[in-house]
Chain A
């Protein structure tokens, strides 16, 4: 018995000792137009910090190796320009090299690594509406780096030894942890430790501090801080579009309404006479590659309402571009029997429970099949198919040589059992598509299939 007590005592002592070592005081940033410069030179690196920095470098390399960083020269130049403006002439903290990178990930998120890498997901870029909003997000993330939050949070996590939560975050492999898994599905490539920070976020105090510092940084850079309040509103509206089993930290950490109110209060006190927001059209133009990637990723991730919303935005901005018309058509085709926005029933507790079951227990095909049992949903399917057809035909009208429009129209007609029409469009696609197109074989198989069905006697 005494041995057991000794062991318990030892365990407790380790915890206390570590808590003492890890407690580094963090000064709150006063509200003002000048962003904080963080603990700066006063920050003392521990062995755990050095390990975390090495881990951050390894994560950067991993993202690159797995082709998760979107390298589009125009988009990169835009993000770099906004990032550098927000950084201004503040001194660069020790052991930090700033890099602004776009991560191919449909979840709405942004995060900063302790080595200075700031990642903004295609999901968040696709949601934002202006350059000033992007400046606010980058200001928030760079504030985490200035304040050394990744290091401090890592020390805190280690102190609490939330091992079980870390493993739950990687719950793709933990029996029973499906809700957590779904939230992390899109970020399955991200290190589990980083996952904890990006899902659970930093502490409330750190997030509030980064909000204040980010607002100050964007204001000093000449952006209107009201844009950040609008960004919080967009995040709040967007979360109602699809059922999310677990919110990401931008949604709930701390409460978005409170963050919006704080941003507005800051803006009332500090907005300079002339400040920049940026035109919505210019922003969509700059981030279009991220939106396009994201629409395709959302289609594969069972987020059809989000795809329709994003594709509509692209088409509204550039109605003459056949690529965007095809994306809109594809989004409506994927939406199937679902409505473009949630019905009031979906917001009731029963409705939410039903959605949770749909997302976690049945496949997309089973969900559509279940929806089609009601006449309303059958009507919705017909409407969405008509909208998809209209978008594909609009793309063909704008550019009759655009092969992808014929392919997608073929898919739609095959769904509708219009096999003859499908065959015509598949043939068109095969005539127009480049010889090196990766899709020739698949469409060849589909063509053979619809020709066979076309020839078969009707039942």
Chain B
């Protein structure tokens, strides 16, 4: 009898642990990864300059009473993520420009905003496909069209860079509760997409999931992993090291 009771308790505890674990941690564990065309990884498409599209980021705070938007924090986070990507590109002596900079084109701010908006719209329709089949990048399956050439920065840039982030932060009370009974945990994703600045062809895609660090510290959360992915794509220090070795 005693044995049966112990067995039932053990069984119940096992179910509880399984349920808690499955709610506290996503079942499909996200992987930090990157995909790129061969011409990028082989260095046949040298990248000397990049044009940054306006970053997009969204943060949500989850507390004991549910979720709240964090619009102001999201703006600051978007800027931090953009700075992070820029700093990694700059470390490889890649010159950085902005898509909304009119440069010497003589175009009005309204005209540039209109072109940027069209490119963002096109990117939004292509991104789900890229995420679904990132392997298609190697086969040149995705393009934003040569309208990217309308951006003033396109003329003197090799690539266009799209930076996006989404994340949820949990309050301390919610995090404690999650530990006991499961529920949402702090989570985020950083996406970096690279396209040819002249033809619009998508050349590379990186998705980075953070470690244990606070999401709001972009460098701590994503820095090292992003650096590694860029290096894998032959952008960043790996290229410099290879060049130094005379390869």
Interface, chain A (partner B; CB < 8 A): 1, 4, 7-8, 10-11, 14, 18, 48, 51-52, 55, 58-59, 61-62, 65-67, 104, 106, 157-164, 166-167, 170, 172-173, 175-176, 178, 181-182, 185-186, 188-189, 191-194, 296-297, 300-302, 360-366, 435-439, 441-442, 445-446
> Which chain B residues numbered 86 to 127 have a C-beta less than 8 Å away from chain A?
105-107, 111-113, 115-118, 121-122, 124-127
Which 7 pairs of residues, A with B, have the shortest CB-CB distance? A158-B66, A58-B71, A436-B106, A442-B149, A300-B121, A173-B166, A7-B180
Q: A236 to B106: give the CA distance in the assembly, Å.
A: 45
26 contacts between A and B (CB under 8 A): A7-B177, A8-B181, A14-B64, A55-B68, A55-B69, A58-B69, A58-B72, A167-B60, A167-B184, A172-B128, A173-B191, A176-B28, A185-B125, A185-B127, A191-B69, A191-B74, A297-B121, A301-B121, A301-B125, A362-B129, A363-B142, A435-B106, A436-B105, A438-B112, A438-B152, A442-B150
Interface centre among A11, A163, A186, A366 (most CB of B within 10 A): A163
User: Which secondary structure dominates chain A's binding surface?
Assistant: helix
In the assembled complex, which residues on chain A have CB atoms less than 8 Å from the CB atom of B28?
175-176
In the complex the two chains form, is A363's CB within 8 Å of B67's CB? no
| A170, B121: Cβ atoms closer than 8 Å | no
Interface set, chain B 131-183, CB cutoff 8 A to A: 131-133, 141-143, 146-147, 149-152, 154-155, 164-166, 168, 177, 180-181, 183
Contact B166 A170 (CB under 8 A): yes
A178 touches B180 (CB 8 A): no
State A96–B236 Cα separation when bound (angstroms).
51
The reply to whether B67 and A193 form a contact with Cβ atoms under 8 Å apart is yes
A436's closest neighbor in chain B, by CB?
B106
How many Å from the CB of B46 to the closest CB on chain A?
Answer: 19
Which one, B71, B116, B117, B168, contacts A191 given CB within 8 A?
B71
Closest Cβ neighbor of A190 among chain B residues = B58
* Chain A, residue nearest B149 (CB): A442
Which single member of B141, B177, B189 contacts A173 (CB below 8 Å)? Answer: B189
Q: Collect the chain B residues with CB atoms within 8 Å of residue A181's CB.
A: 128
Contact B68 A188 (CB under 8 A): no
Q: Which residue of A has the minimal Cβ distance to B64?
A: A14
Tell whether B198 is near chain A: CB-to-CB under 8 Å.
yes
Q: For the complex, is B223 an interface residue (Cβ under 8 Å from A)?
A: no
Question: Across the interface, do B75 and A62 meet the contact criterion of CB distance under 8 Å?
Answer: yes
Name the contact of B107 in the complex, choosing from A7, A362, A438, A446 (C-beta under 8 A).
Answer: A438
Q: With an 8 A cutoff between CB atoms, is B247 at the interface?
A: no
Asked whether any CB of chain A lies closer than 8 Å to the CB of B9, the reply is: yes
A185, B128: Cβ atoms closer than 8 Å: yes
> B56 to A67, Cβ gap below 8 A?
no
B contact set with A: CB distance below 8 Å: 9, 13, 16, 28, 30, 54, 56, 58, 60, 62, 64-69, 71-72, 74-75, 105-107, 111-113, 115-118, 121-122, 124-129, 131-133, 141-143, 146-147, 149-152, 154-155, 164-166, 168, 177, 180-181, 183-184, 189, 191, 198
Q: How far is the CB of B133 from chain A (nearest CB, A)?
A: 8
Q: List, in ascending order, chain B residues with CB within 8 A of A446's CB.
A: 146
- The closest CB in chain B to the CB of A62 belongs to B71
Contact at B132–A363, with CB atoms within 8 Å?
no
Interface contact A7-B181, CB-CB below 8 Å: yes
Chain A residues near B180 (CB-CB < 8 A): 4, 7, 11
Cα A55 to Cα B72 in complex, Å, equals: 8
Chain B residue nearest to A362 (CB atoms) is B129
**Chain B residues with Cβ under 8 A from A52's Cβ?**
68
Considering the chains assembled together, what is the distance between the CA atoms of A161 and B133 in angstroms?
A: 32
Of the candidates B121, B131, B166, the one having the most CB atoms from chain A within 10 angstroms of its own CB is B121
Q: Which of B9, B72, B118, B128 has the most CB of A within 10 A?
A: B128
